Amino acid sequence: MTNETQDPDLCRSIARRDFIMRAASGTVIAALGGGLYAISDRLTREAKAQTRDDGRPRVPPGQRVIETLKPMGGTPGDPSRANFKLRVHGEVKSPYELDFAELMAMGPVTVRSDVHCVTGWTMLDAKWTGVTVKALAERAGLESTARHVIFEAAAGYTANVRLREALRDDVMVAWDFGGQPLRRPHGAPVRAVVPDLYFWKSAKYLTGIRFVARDEPGYWETRGYNNHADPWKEERYA
Ligand SMILES: Nc1nc2c(c(=O)[nH]1)N[C@H]1C(S)=C(S)[C@@H](COP(=O)(O)O)O[C@H]1N2
Ligand SMILES: [Mo]
CATH of the domain at 124: 3.90.420.10
Could you tell which of 12, 70, 182, 200 is best to mutate to test the pocket of ligand 1, judged by most ligand atoms within 8 Å of the CB? 200
CB 160 near ligand 1, within 6 Å: no
Provide the pairing of β-strand 191-193 with 121-132: unpaired
Query: 58 in a domain, yes or no?
Result: no
Spacing, Cα 144 to ligand 1 middle (Å): 30
Q: Are residues 175 and 70 in the same domain?
A: yes
Ligand 1 contact via 194 beta carbon (within 6 Å) = no
Q: What is the mean pLDDT of residues 85-113?
A: 98
Residue 59, domain member (yes or no): no
In terms of residue numbers, what domain contains 12? Answer: 3-48
Please tell me the distance between residue 120's alpha carbon and the centre of ligand 1 in angstroms: 14
* In a domain? residue 57: no
pLDDT average, residue stretch 63-78: 94
Q: What is the mean pLDDT of the chain?
A: 90
193 with 78: CB under 8 angstroms? Answer: no
The answer to whether 201 touches 226, Cβ cutoff 8 Å, is no
pLDDT (mean) for 196-223: 98
Number of domains in the chain: 2
Q: Which of 8-22, 76-90, 176-190 has the lowest mean pLDDT?
A: 8-22
Please check whether residues 19 and 88 belong to one and the same domain: no
Predicted confidence band at 45 (pLDDT cuts at 50, 70, 90)?
very high
Q: Which ligand is nearest to the CA of 5?
A: 1
Whether residues 8 and 82 share a domain: the answer is no
Q: 99: how many CB neighbours lie within 10 A of its CB?
A: 14
Distance 145 CA to ligand 2 centre (A): 30
Does residue 134 lie in a domain region? yes
Q: Within a domain: residue 55?
A: no
Predicted pLDDT at 39: 84
User: 56 in a domain, yes or no?
Assistant: no
Q: Within this chain, do residues 88 and 180 fall inside the same structural domain, yes or no?
A: yes
Q: Is residue 42 included in any domain, yes or no?
A: yes
Per-residue pLDDT reduced to its tens digit, 102-121: 999 999 999 999 999 999 99
Residue 153 has pLDDT above 60, yes or no: yes
146 with 34, same domain?
A: no
Same structural domain, 28 and 124: no
The pLDDT assigned to 31 comes to 63
Give the C-alpha distances (Å, rounded to integers) separating 63 from 1, 6, 15, 23. 14, 22, 11, 15
Cα-atom radius of gyration of the chain, to the nearest Å? 17
pLDDT tier at 57, thresholds 50, 70, 90: very high
Percent of the chain predicted with pLDDT > 70: 84
Q: Is the model's pLDDT at 234 over the cut of 50?
A: yes
Q: pLDDT tens for residues 194-209?
A: 999 999 999 999 999 9
Sign of CA dihedral 49, 51, 57, 62: negative
Percent of the chain with pLDDT over 90: 83
Say which range, 8-22, 104-118, 119-133, 155-169, has the weakest mean pLDDT.
8-22
Q: 82 and 193 share a domain?
A: yes
For range 157-167, the mean pLDDT: 98
Q: What is the mean pLDDT of residues 70-75?
A: 94
Q: Which atom of ligand 1 is nearest to the CA of 33?
A: 14
Residue 238 domain-assigned (yes or no) = no
Tell me, yes or no, whether 76 and 31 share the same domain. Answer: no
Q: Determine the distance separating the centroid of ligand 2 and the alpha carbon of 199, expressed in angstroms.
A: 6
Does residue 150 share a domain with residue 36? no
> Do both 85 and 123 map to the same domain?
yes
Specify whether 191 is located in the same domain as 89: yes
Residues 75 and 156 reside in one and the same domain: yes
Pocket test for ligand 1, best of 72, 118, 221 (most atoms within 8 A of CB): 72
> Given this model, what pLDDT does residue 59 score?
98
